[in-house]
Structure 1
């Protein structure tokens, strides 16, 4: 794969245009919300911000559920599309506001939509940026995708479930290394479920079920060794068909070679 470090002016203009469209949509969501004191509305950058936001939104969500859902999805998809850090806090917020099942469904939907948006944006203008930010990871990813083309869905599921490669990188690099969208979509929608469940598994309104939001001191409280081990176990199970297929191919090749000698 030849390096492409240049970022043409038309691609920069297109990227800015897409960002402007998203920004206009967010402003529209904000304006459409019922009048109130919105000084608390800001992207949570730490657990303290998240707690403040949750405290203000809990009562608001029960009265204006649709507005909160639309606003939440718009913000999450915007962050995913433009690789803005902090979606982990948005996932925690979903669990805090909508509980386990509702939060899980919301996070998986928003994350899949945001990842898809990032995929198509990268397909249009992402190649120079990917080469600039992750040249080594990109070469590694391309080689792995080429080797596992026949069982690509299993490999992509493995990447989504485990922290082997950052999700941000996967979203942006997949179209560059020719991962078909249907494979990307299925791996994202299915593969994000375990990690999303780890994040929103606690119904924060019921502290007896586990760690309440007010008890969290750092994100490490969420990703304990057992949770990480479980994610890797799921990832290994997902990639097992690929490994078995590879062994079967090698065995057949050995049998053919033996029979010709």
Structure 2
């Protein structure tokens, strides 16, 4: 090989190294641990953003799998993954991704609880289960409205709703619809916040007083038909 040819080959090798995308084997496992705070999330975001363009499918599969697993087994931290969706995929794709993953995970939790969860739920939340069952029984005619209200507002934790719904006899189609549509407002807020992840100082910035009031107003619009449809009880003449 001539000296000129060797120089060209070396130059080509250097250029290839510069333009070649990083491989999935280069990922630092420590950067992919489940975030416990915004600092951990920022590290994960900076690490994954390098790979998302060239390995979009792999990142999506990993994201969805982890989100569903956490949602299924009620592992805290899905809010960080909602923020991550906005940071990596933008607002529209991020919202769709969060709603799909959250609904799939909630559904898996629902069916696992339906098969095995009743004793656990009654042991963990005896009073809350009794209250939830009574409220559901009172609103059988407008159950979807009530479930939408619960999903939109922070009245009950979503993990509790996922686990307790089959135990208090909420049909799956009601649960599914309320999850898909009821999670839109909160998903929008978290995904949008993920666009400016570096500016967040705490998770409390997501749900200030104004935001919480807005969510309750939206929730009240859902539950209003339930309130208006109640008929005054007729007294039995003595």
Q: Which residue of 2 aligns with 1:35?
A: 25
Q: CA deviation at 1:129?
A: 1.0
Give the 3-state SS of the residue equivalent to 2:62 in structure 1: helix
Measured in 2, the distance between the counterparts of 1:198 and 1:168 equals: 19
Q: 2:120 maps to which residue?
A: 129
CA distance, structure 2, for counterparts of residue 130 and residue 203 of structure 1? 33
Which of residues 140, 154, 157 in structure 2 aligns to 1:166?
157
CA RMSD of aligned residues (A): 1.6
1:100–1:202 contact (8 Å) kept in structure 2: no
Are positions 1:229 and 2:213 aligned together? yes
Contact 1:99–1:202 (8 Å) recurs in 2 = no
Counterpart secondary structure, 1:223: coil
Match of 2:108, SS state, is helix
Please give the alpha-carbon distance, in whole angstroms, between the structure 1 residues aligned to 2:59 and 2:49.
Answer: 10
Q: For the pair shown, which has the larger CA radius of gyration, 1 or 2?
A: 2
| TM-score normalised over the length of structure 1 | 0.79
Change over 3 Å in CA distance of 1:203–1:45 after alignment to 2:
closer
**CA–CA distance in 2 between the matches of 1:60 and 1:34?**
8
CA deviation after TM superposition for structure 1 residue 41, in Å: 1.2
Partner of 1:65: 56
Q: TM-score normalised to the size of structure 2?
A: 0.87
Give every structure 1 segment of 4 or more consecutive aligned residues whose post-TM-superposition deviation is greater than 3 Å. Answer: none
**Alignment size in residue pairs:** 215
Unaligned runs of 5+ in 2: 1-22
Equivalent residue runs for 1:5-154 within 5 Å:
34-39=24-29, 40-154=31-145
| 1: CA distance, partners of 2:66 / 2:130 | 31
2: CA distance between counterparts of 1:164 and 1:224?
15
